[in-house]
Structure 1
């Protein structure tokens, strides 16, 4: 069972997935900082100095913190839009790469040799026909 797990864990797809999760977590932190530290203060200024995260509605003993919900929705929209743009950019690069015609592969040694033999036979047959 340990050998099977080792084979599974060391496959390229699993390692790629692990790297993607780590990069995604770091990307999420960057976007959260972008929203909290740059965008939300600007939005707050436009709305007269309001801070969304401080918006709440007291309901007796409980408090409904709808400002934090608004903040989370804005984070989600920005993260999903950023991922959309990133995937779109990658697909454009892939399309350009696929659109560029690649050079035909060089003929193998066997093909070169057969071509030379064909040409020699052609020359010989033309020499005898004249």
Structure 2
């Protein structure tokens, strides 16, 4: 029964719940970034590059002549889909930039909160120190 209660304690800790929420939000954010890259960013870049659809760029090392990446894959050709890699690389860079900005913002908020905290607040010594000081004072008074 000990391991089950230990697992319950672990599962309901705030950090685990925060991590779960982060994973869910991250998955949704990844979907949005993927759509941003493939539906918004890459079409104009492809148009400026001469009407290229990056998601359909591939290399067939066997030299086969296929109209699209899907046709090459259906034929079982060992197609190297470097266009999809370019899309995924751009998606990664956008996600990495967003995470960097998020962490930077959190760090600046933390520093701001630390700088606003009163630095002159007296720190109360531990109870043991107070007790020892009290004993010292009693001994001085008797002497």
Same fold (TM over 0.5): yes
More strand by share: 1
Q: Displacement of 1:59 after TM fit?
A: 2.2
Match of 2:125 in 1: none
Query: What CA deviation, in whole Å up to 9, does each residue of 1:63-113 have, x standing for no partner?
Result: 1111111111111111101111111122122222222244988xxxxxxxx
| Over 3 Å off, 4+ runs | 101-105
More helix by share: 1
Q: Which runs of 5+ in 1 are unaligned?
A: 106-130
Match of 2:39 in 1: 37
Q: Displacement of 1:55 after TM fit?
A: 0.3
Q: What is the correspondence of 1:1-130 to structure 2 with a 5 Å cutoff?
A: 1-60=3-62, 61-102=77-118
Q: For 2:82 and 2:58, how far apart are their aligned partners in 1?
A: 6
Q: Which runs of 5+ in 2 are unaligned?
A: 63-76, 122-143
Secondary structure of the equivalent of 2:79?
strand
Q: For 2:55 and 2:84, how far apart are their aligned partners in 1?
A: 5
CA RMSD of aligned residues (A): 1.9
